[in-house]
A and B are shown apart, each in its own frame.
Chain A
Amino acid sequence: MKYESNEHPSALFHFPVAFLLDPRRWRLISSVALDASSFMELVSPLAPALFIPIAATANVGKNVSWLAASASRAAIHNSFARSDNLADVTAKAGSQSIAASLVGTSLGVALSAQLGSEWGPTTLATFATLSSIHLGCTYLSLKYVRLETLNSQRLDLVLQAFLTRRGLNHTNKGENTTSTENKGAASTATASAWLPSPAEVADLESFVPTWPLRGSFHGPGLSDWLLLAPPLPSLAQTPRELDAFRAALRSSENGGNDKHSNNSSNYSECGYVLSVHTRQSVSGKEEAQIALALDVPTTIRGNATEEYSESVSTLRGVLHASILRRTLGSQGIHISAPGLISSTTAGRSSLSGDGDANQWAARPDLVKDTALLARIVGVDFFAGLKESEWKADVLHVDNGLATRAIRQSGIFLE
């Protein structure tokens, strides 16, 4: 939401994308906004002098609510439509809501006629009852929404479950499958079984807005432990800057040592760049930060778009990062919340090497050690994804908050 239009190609579409990718949350936010606005209107008799500001603010809230509801509803209906009947589902939802509002208005008129038209505590109590039923029913109905698209949170849940079920072994056979089985068939069958279904993930997904509000607009997800940078080409303003980024990355990936320089590493092949920094935290434990940026190399971009599309590269990168997270976790290294490593700190640490333990140090070796595992697990993951109900072709895991901060801090220019 802090995007400026020249920073990222998708900046213009960022807000609608939030509705589309987290429709349950936004549908609930819409209900809360409606009730809050109605409550403001309800208490307006307490301050009749402030009628205009109160009523206007309440109207703003109602319009926001309407906007959020109608935008998020589209994605919800899409998740229920089985064949090409999205238009039918949407039209019938319109009929349903009109019928409901007719019944509801009649109910409200009947209730208010019963209670008398005098404004007072009874009105407040009735309103409180009605609006809590409203919120409760909306929440319950949203529990049955099983989205098949992936956003930051759902992708994280899918990957966690997948890696737990599969295990981090180098063979592409499951721990329980016997070696006598047909290898190819077994790996496809088990790979899809390792992936959780949309219904399983829907039960795990959290979509209730909580205080403070800023967090409730995004919810938990990858950005809790992974710094998601926008694609490198969009981060650089000029081709020259892009080259500088890439040069810096290549040298940092190779640990600054020339002995690895003939090893092109995964940088030029995977379409993503991972960077890991570790340090001793104040409590003496080792902690790490992981950052991910997409960068499809110039030689690949343009052709082979399927293999190196933004969504495939993102999936590959996030899978690798998740594996890295698990590996580090098993070594007792805590993944800290992605903050920003200022360029001065990062620069000093890479210059001084291991000298100062409290400074962040780039650890390209960790990335390299898990690269082969990531590729092997990736084969299983993509095989399972193809068989599953997940629609992974449209993927947007970047919550957009990191862009400007990264550019300012120059995290990739250590």
Chain B
Amino acid sequence: MMLRTLGSSRSLFRSSVRFASAGPTPDDNTKPKQSSILQEGHQWQASQHDSPWMLRGASGAKPSLPEKAVNLASTAPQELASAMLPHGYPSSVKDGYDKYVIGQMAGAITGSASGVFSMQALLYAVGLGQGAIPMAAALNWVIKDGLGQLGGVLAVHLVNTKFDSGTS
């Protein structure tokens, strides 16, 4: 039982090593078993050291700020799509979903924009409107709501990706 768990954890390391090294896949079959395990153990430690570098870029060099921006810009649409669209989007939903979502989004955007005006009118009616409604106050109000909602989206996104990896 103990051996088995050790073995499985070792294979887990191995897979993570293989993933992190990103080099040509090691051909386990040609190498002697014993040495390959040792090698992997060595690689595991090395990759632990390397992993921060691996996250930053395949080149291994510290990326410059423009590079970072480019990376972010290239991954941002994917991240956004994975937060906004169902997993496996085009094939996991039925026809017309994209048009439905676009219409709903446009409707919700204009709906909440008109909500700003109606809220302002309410404030005006209750007596806050004489002169100018302090824009800073209105903005604070919006930011208060907005940050909370943004946090909600991020939390759902995190939970969702964890859930996905957990099931697969």
Residues of A near any B CB (own CB < 8 A): 31, 34-35, 37-39, 41-45, 48, 51, 54-55, 58, 76, 79-83, 85, 88-89, 91-109, 111-113, 117-119, 123, 126-127, 130-131, 133-138, 140-142, 144-146, 199
Contact = CB atoms under 8 A, between A and B. Distances in A.
A130 B106 CA distance: 10
A38 B125 CA distance: 14
B124 A144 contact: no
Interface centre among A31, A58, A76, A131 (most CB of B within 10 A): A131
B104 A141 contact: yes
Interface in B18-77: none
A108 B116 contact: yes
B110 A130 contact: yes
Interface string B89-128: 0011111110111111111111111111111111011110
Contacts of A117: 120, 129, 132-133, 135
A130 B126 contact: no
A144 B99 contact: yes
B103 A140 contact: yes
A258 to B, nearest CB: 56
B156 A95 contact: yes
Contacts of A112: 116-117, 120, 138
A80 B156 CA distance: 20
A48 B87 CA distance: 49
A31 B111 CA distance: 9
Task: Tell me the dominant secondary structure on chain A's binding face.
Answer: helix
Nearest to A123: B117
A88 B86 contact: yes
Interface centre among A82, A118, A130 (most CB of B within 10 A): A130
Contacts of A92: 83-86
Contacts of A94: 152-153, 156
Contact of A82 (B93, B114, B126, B146): B93
Contacts of B113: 104-105, 107-108, 111, 130
Contacts of B88: 85
Interface of B: 83-88, 91-97, 99-122, 124-127, 129, 132-133, 135, 138-139, 142, 145-146, 149-150, 152-153, 156-157, 160
A100 B109 contact: yes
A45 B129 contact: yes
A123 B125 CA distance: 14
A105 B115 CA distance: 8
Contacts, number: 211
Nearest to A38: B118
Contacts of A42: 117-118, 121
A108 B109 CA distance: 9
A100 to B, nearest CB: 4
28 contacts: A31-B107, A41-B121, A42-B121, A45-B125, A48-B127, A76-B100, A80-B94, A81-B93, A85-B88, A88-B160, A91-B160, A104-B109, A105-B145, A108-B117, A117-B132, A123-B121, A130-B110, A130-B113, A130-B114, A133-B107, A136-B107, A137-B103, A138-B107, A141-B104, A144-B99, A144-B100, A145-B96, A146-B94
A234 to B, nearest CB: 36
A131 B114 contact: yes
Nearest to B132: A117
B149 A101 contact: yes
Given A109-B142, A127-B118, 6 more contacts: A43-B121, A80-B100, A101-B149, A106-B142, A134-B111, A136-B107
Contact of B112 (A37, A105, A146): A105
Contacts of A39: 118
Contact of A119 (B91, B93, B95, B129): B129
Given A45-B129, A123-B117, A82 B94 contact: yes
A55 to B, nearest CB: 6
B100 A141 contact: yes
A108 B94 contact: no
A131 B85 contact: no
Contact of B95 (A103, A134, A199): A199
A131 B111 contact: yes
B106 A109 contact: no
A92 B91 CA distance: 15
Contacts of A127: 114, 117-118
Contact of A89 (B86, B102, B114, B133): B86
A320 B129 CA distance: 65
Nearest to B120: A112
Nearest to A115: B117
A95 B110 CA distance: 17
Contacts of A89: 86, 93
